[in-house]
Structures are given as structure tokens and as C-alpha cells.
Structure 1
């Protein structure tokens, strides 16, 4: 396993180095006509600080690059300037960008980022594990929210309720512990992203009273608290209970080299049909470990070249063996 990137260890203010992803959509009630309610879709953009692990969520309401820039501007106005943005090229993010008509390479976004002195880096395709620091959070939150809002589709959420719910979700996530809880009664409060952001040890107090499913059909503020309580219960069961030390990839292996004959993993084809190709370029990281390669394969009679992480290639013959 590689050393942590410099973004994760930089001594900078929170949200200086950020990973982002887009998730959703959900249907919300926009306004009422004489005949019925008008529904529209909403998405959310999650920004994750790579050093403090804090998260910030902004709701997007329009399918345009302008709406995404507005969300980015709201984030920068609240959290301050960002030096570096990171995101993956997975189907979720790329698909959301296409659905939102966001051109991450377009002149409008590039000009805005240039004015903000900010750079945007994309991980290699099919390598979401390289962005695990934010993929872990957004994958879990997406699963909980999708299941939660699917069950409560009859409550007719409004835009205001959804935005408030995202704020409650953000508070719950930022209150999670970053280090193991000590058994020492004299030990200080457990460190959390919220403590680093607010410089306050206490969590945001919840309104008095118990909130049940029946509250989803009452006043809007009770709807939000009922949904937030259900999110907390699933967050506690599906995330907090799994916090433990994980160690893997401790053994040293040979680097993939140019000229290696490989088998390229492809989840879109049936078994025994993975294409065989050759490594045409090995791309080393700063520690001289190769984690990305360019591979050439023949697909449907056409020679194609792909950029892939080494986790998606299986070396069949090394470069030295092919020359024998």
C-alpha cells in the first residue's frame, strides 16, 4: 500500500484539499397547481476535506453547469478558498455530470477554477479505491438516503425539507469519531471533524421529544427531525459499528512493466471473455510504485488503448518472459 498523498497530510486550514462527488436524484414537491403538485428533481454535491475528513453537502436544483458552479461558490463562500479538488471518473460521478450537463473540461468551469487559483485532478478510470477517503462516505450516505427517501416517497418532500435534512446529515457525519475512544476517564473529548471545524466539543443539540415515522406526515420541521433520526439509526448500525483498524497490501510485489502481457478485467463481459492485451506504458507514482498503466487490446477488430489501475490487470507473462 502506498504512503498517504501529501493532500492528506498538509497542514492547511480545513477544506483546502477537497474530494467531491455528486449523488441523487430525489423527487421533491416544487409547487401546487389547481390540478396537482409539480415535482422536480434534486441532486447533492458532497465535498470532503482530505485532511480533517469533514464533509459539506450542497443541494443542486438545476440541470446545468451554472447550477454546479453556484453550489461550488456557496461552498467556497462558507468554507473558504480551495487549492485542490479531486474526483474519480466512476460511472456515478461521470453519469451525474452528464445528467446535470456539467462539462468538467469546459471553458466556463476551467475559467472559474483558474480565477480561484484552484486545480481539479481526476483519478484514473475504474480506480475508485484511489479516492477512498471520500468514496467511503458518499457510498454509505447514498445508500442510506436512497433507501430512506424511497420509503418516505409518499411524504412529498419539499426543497426546504431536503436542504434542512442534508444539513442534519452533515452534522451527524461531522460528529463521527476520528480516533478510537479511550477508556481513560481523564482523557479529553474524542476528536471529530466538527471539533476541528467549529472549535467546540459539544454536538448540535436535537429538538426535545421523540420522533417517529408518523411525524413524517406532520409539520415540515418534524418531517426533517424524523428523517434525521432514521438516518442516525442506520448510520450508527452501518458505519459506527464497523470502525476498526484495517490493514492490507503490506507485502511488496513486482511493478507492472511496459511489455507485460496482461488479462484486462471487464465486468461488462461474460467470464472467460476478458481481453488479453499488452502494457504499452507504466506510470509510476512519486514512490516509484506503478499503480496506473496504459494497456493496448484488440476489441472487435480494432486496436484500443485504455488507462487502467493495476488492480484491473492480471499479469500473465512478464516482459522478461516474453523476450525469451
Structure 2
């Protein structure tokens, strides 16, 4: 949520992070450590290469992020303080998990902001908050505009497809639990924008997460509707196609019989970055291959 942005004001002077903390922004933060890959990617997108003085130890995009010193929440407060940050960006779950570390940093005058949007509208607000924190409000608004333009083009691409002809998709989040995503989550948004129909629209997410437990029995009850079986792969779900096609009762799933089981890079569907547009394109080619021939 953006705070203190009143009619006629040119700039907001404070933002509220996702744990409710209000951060006063008297001047842009210029020495930033990012402990979430999405924060890092968005900071680079905003043109803040020189302001980023530390990133996570699991960065992979953009490639220039790999040149930055790596930090983790397991490091000591002294290591952070020796780098001289004025802002540390984390996720809300990290706030609770490592409370003592953030308290130490805050006692030394370092601002710690926890943010992680779970929907696309929240993502726009999150980008704008990053813009306020870093003095890049104009660039953040440009990101929002560019993303909306990309969505418009993606939606135009599938407008000609009869909704009844859009393939039914089961989008797996965690294979060992046969979990999917909540209907309003970013991965489902990406899949539906790409022209798919969510066969697990009745899924309910766990509290505080977009992961939705579904289970084999419920999934098999809709097996004949599953034209395409998607699963995100990556750190959160280290899986391969064989794991799915050889799992119990897999032969009952239409997508398995038709060999329409595909992996999707989790970084293209789960992170609140501009690369969600690449995820939409990637999934569209899987769901509607004839449109690309």
C-alpha cells in the first residue's frame, strides 16, 4: 500500500510494507541488499544496477546480478552492516523467520522492508512502492504500462478462441502432494491469460500461501477434462515429466495418454516480475501450438 500520496502531491513520502510497517522516504535509498530474487530482478529493471550492493546466493537473472556479493538471512548482522546498506528488501515470511537479525539491523538505522505480492494488481502496487523507495517512480509506472500493454496483446491473441475450445489444464505446484495453485494466484493468471481453462478452479489455498492442496482422488475425478498437464519445475518443485507420467493412476489422465505433459520454469510464472509475460508466451505455445506454426 502506498501511503501519503494526496491529490496534487508530486511524490509519496512513505510506503507501507506487507507486514504493516510504514517506511518514511525522505530521500531515495541508494545502497540496497535484496534477499528475494524478484526484488533483485525488479531493481535491475528499474535501472538500479549501481544501487544494488548485495543479492541472494541463488540469483540467476539478470546475469549481472551474479556479479554482486551474496547474502543470506543466515549471515550475521555484522556482515550486513559492514556492507553499509541503507535498505534491506526481504519477503514477509523472512521477517518472522529471522526476526532477531532484522531487529539488530534496524537498531543500527538500516531500513528493512518486507514485500511479496500474490496477485497481478498487488504486483503493480509493489512495483510502485519500489519506485518510491528508490526514487524511480517514473520508471515503475513505465513498468506497469509495459506490462499492461503486454497483457493486452496476449489477450488479443486468444480472443479468437472459443472459450469452449480452450484446453482444460491442471497446473501442478508440488508434485509429491498433487497440489495446484489457488484460482487467483499468479501462475493461474498466467495460464488463463495464455488461453487455458483451469480444471481445478475449486481449489482452496492454504492460509498465507497460493499453494492449494488438491489430492489424487479429486484430480482423477476430473481426469477426462485435463487436456494439458502443466507443472512448474525448479527449486520449489524438482520434478520431471517421467515423475508425472509414471505416478499412480497417471494412465487415467487424458493429458498423460495424449502426451500433453509439460514443465514450466517456475521463475516465469511465480515471480512478480516482467518475465510473467514470457511465461504467458511460453504456456501459450504449449496450449495452442497450431497458432505458432
Between Structure 1 and Structure 2, the one with more helix by share is: 2
Asked if TM exceeds 0.5, the reply is no
Between Structure 1 and Structure 2, the one with more strand by share is: 1
Q: TM-score, length-normalised on structure 1?
A: 0.23
Q: TM-score, length-normalised on structure 2?
A: 0.25
